[in-house]
Amino acid sequence: MYCGTDGIINFSFRLYPGAIGQTEVIDFLKALVRRIDQPLLIVWDRLPANRGRLVREFVELSEGHIVTEYLPAYAPELNPVEYIWAYRKQHELPNVCPKDYGELSRRARRALRRMQRKPRLLRAFWKQSSRCFD
């Protein structure tokens, strides 16, 4: 989730089959760098893949284009992305029983794209997580 210099809040996503590892994190960071041509401050949770050696080296090689900060451990209420996932599970895809990964991926992508077109909802998620810093 990000707030652009124009004040518009949005988010980028990528779905991967299986567990997220360092390779997937680096792939996603590369996509963000291509899409957003300004310095990036990545605030993420303490997923082991986010803290791995390969990811740290990739960030260091960005020469300051990517800066990272970690959320405190056990603090999902500070992460606006957690609100996106909760909304998606409760409102966009409740009781979905896909036949396979392909169907799950298609439905999830559609739901996430619909959410990208709801700026008021995204702003609410951003504000909810920010309240914890007040």
- pTM recorded for the entire structure: 0.71
Query: Is the model's pLDDT at 133 over the cut of 60?
Result: no
Q: What percent of the chain has pLDDT over 90?
A: 20
Q: Which residue has the higher pLDDT, 91 or 22?
A: 22
What pLDDT shows up at residue 134? 45
Closest CA to 80 of 35, 52, 43: 43
Task: Say how far apart CA 101 and CA 132 lie, in whole Å.
Answer: 35
Model confidence over 22-77: pLDDT tens digits?
999 999 999 989 888 888 888 888 889 999 999 999 999 998 889 888 877 777 77
Strands 2-3 and 9-10: what pairing?
A: antiparallel
Query: Is the model's pLDDT at 127 over the cut of 70?
Result: yes
Q: CB-based contacts of 114: which residues, under 8 Å, 6+ apart?
A: 92
What is the band of 124 on the pLDDT scale with cuts at 50, 70, 90?
A: confident
